[in-house]
């Protein structure tokens, strides 16, 4: 475990917001870092900076260990949920193109692209779509589909500077060990006037505040918990001008959704999951938006 300062303002002045729920020796292995992991409510100590308000995990596992963990992650269940991911990313692309402009063969980089679902969909829409992803297993899945996906971290991968029109981070920034460094690298890879699109969980949303310590997104794999305010501050600090930040949900298959509810509230979720199965509705995709996920669109400023 390592102690870290606030990644937004650099202060070492944080107070505990949610106590650690992981007992000594019980920290998960790479399975706890899978996208589909259901370890809701299991997390290290979560604190809030008293200077700028950023919420983050402290202390946390060593940064080098976190990177190695993501390199080792395998997640077959993610492949089974492909239909919901496709619908979600098709839904995300519409507002992205309204704000950033039509694809027209322009280069786009998806950071933390996992198995490349968004890369594939963006490519079909006419983008020159690239991806970068640390998981060796996920990169193999993406490359087997003929997608242009590079294995590694954004900060270390061999990617062209000032080349991309758009850089996307879908459900990624809450996982990285240095979000400010990640956004600065995105700025470096974007053309002047290019766009960074960041989708993440919202610690300041009404649903998060109502749920308190029972908010499902308090998980071991999440290192940073942004609000629209703190993400805006970080984007501006990294040379971006925020043009929009609004709630944006996703699509989930009913079977998968009920399995997530079962992990969070078994007394409700398990009967519901059995009913969905009995009715043959597990494969039906439904929109889910509790207001605790949001997308920020920001434009590169300066030289």
Higher pLDDT, 267 or 212: 212
Tell which wins on pLDDT, 232 or 302: 232
Percent over 70 (pLDDT), the chain? 97
> Hey, where are the domains in the chain?
14-300
Report the range out of 28-32, 33-37, 40-44, 176-180 with the highest average pLDDT: 176-180
Confidence of residue 28 (pLDDT cuts 50, 70, 90): low
**In the predicted structure, residue 243 carries a pLDDT above the cut 70:** yes
Q: What is the pLDDT of residues 172-208, one digit of tens each?
A: 999 999 999 999 999 999 999 999 999 999 999 999 9
The CATH homologous superfamily of the domain defined by 14-300: Vaccinia Virus protein VP39 (3.40.50.150)
pLDDT tens string 99-111: 999 999 999 999 9
Q: What is the mean pLDDT of the chain?
A: 91
Looking at residue 24, what is its pLDDT?
Answer: 66
- 79 phi, psi to nearest 5 deg: -65, -35
More confident residue, 238 or 263: 238
| Reported pTM | 0.92
HEC letters along the chain: CECCCCCCCCCCCEEEEECCCCCCCCCCCHHHHCCCCCCCCCCCCEEEECCCCCEEECCECCHHHHHHHHHHCCCHHHHHCHHHHHHHHHHHHHHHHHHHCCCCCCEEEEECCCCCHHHHHHHHHCCEEEEEECCHHHHHHHHHCCCCEEECCCCCCCCCCCCEEEEEEECCCCCCCCHHHHHHHHHHHEEEEEEEEEEEECCCCHHHHHHHHHCCCCCCCCCEECCHHHHHHHHHHCCEEEEEEEECCEEEEHHHHHHHHHHHCHHHHHHHHHHHHHCCCCCCEEEECCCCEEEEEEEECCC
Contact 165/129 with Cβ under 8 angstroms?
A: no
């Amino acid at each position: 475990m390592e102690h870290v300062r606030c990644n937004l303002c650099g202060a070492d002045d944080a107070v505990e917001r949610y106590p650690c729920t992981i007992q000594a020796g019980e920290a998960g292995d790479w399975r706890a870092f899978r996208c589909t992991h259901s370890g809701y409510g299991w997390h290290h100590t979560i604190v809030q900076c008293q200077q700028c308000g950023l919420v983050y995990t402290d202390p946390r596992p060593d940064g080098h260990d976190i990177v190695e963990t993501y390199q080792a992650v395998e997640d077959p269940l993610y492949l089974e949920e492909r239909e919901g991911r496709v619908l979600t990313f098709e839904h995300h692309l519409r507002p992205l193109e309204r704000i950033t402009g039509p694809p027209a063969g322009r280069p786009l980089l998806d950071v933390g692209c996992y198995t490349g679902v968004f890369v594939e969909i963006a490519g079909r829409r006419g983008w020159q779509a690239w991806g970068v992803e640390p998981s060796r297993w996920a990169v193999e899945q993406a490359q087997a589909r003929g997608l242009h996906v590079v294995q590694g971290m954004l900060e270390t991968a061999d990617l062209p500077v000032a080349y991309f029109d758009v850089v996307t981070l879908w459900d990624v920034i809450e996982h990285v060990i240095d979000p400010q460094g990640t956004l600065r690298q995105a700025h470096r890879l974007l053309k002047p006037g290019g766009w960074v699109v960041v989708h993440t969980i919202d610690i300041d949303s009404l649903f998060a505040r109502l749920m308190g310590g029972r908010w499902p997104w308090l998980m071991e794999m999440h290192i940073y918990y942004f609000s629209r305010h703190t993400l805006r501050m970080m984007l501006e600090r990294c040379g971006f001008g925020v043009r929009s930040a609004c709630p944006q949900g996703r699509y989930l298959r009913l079977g998968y959704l009920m399995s997530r509810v079962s992990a969070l509230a078994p007394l409700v979720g398990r009967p519901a999951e059995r009913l969905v199965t009995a009715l043959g509705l597990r494969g039906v995709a439904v929109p889910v938006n509790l207001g605790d996920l949001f997308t920020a669109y920001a434009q590169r400023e300066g030289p």
